[in-house]
Amino acid sequence: MLVQLREELYSSSWDRMLADLQDRLKGRPYIFKLVNRIQDDITRIEKLRDYEKQNNVNLAAFIKGEKA
């Protein structure tokens, strides 16, 4: 997950990623692109949650190879 985040949000730079995370911890300004990602993830989560509820399934079971 961290490698994918580095590629997508920090132009393949560990240094930019670390600096951004350290700035967040210190309350400094941080990369805006992550805020957009969070908002997109919230939308995705809501869709996945609704799908599970409507179809009475647990999507995590598919990842683990279990019977949903």
Give yes or no: residues 24 and 4 share one domain.
yes
Give yes or no: residues 56 and 40 share one domain.
yes
Give yes or no: residues 43 and 24 share one domain.
no
- Which pLDDT belongs to residue 55? 96
pLDDT, averaged across the chain: 79
The pTM (predicted TM-score) of the whole model is: 0.48
Give yes or no: residues 26 and 43 share one domain.
no
- Which pLDDT belongs to residue 22? 87
Half-sphere exposure of 21 (CA within 13 A, CB side): 11
Range of the domain at 67: 36-68
**Distance of alpha carbon 58 from alpha carbon 45, whole angstroms:** 13
pLDDT of 64 strictly over 80: no
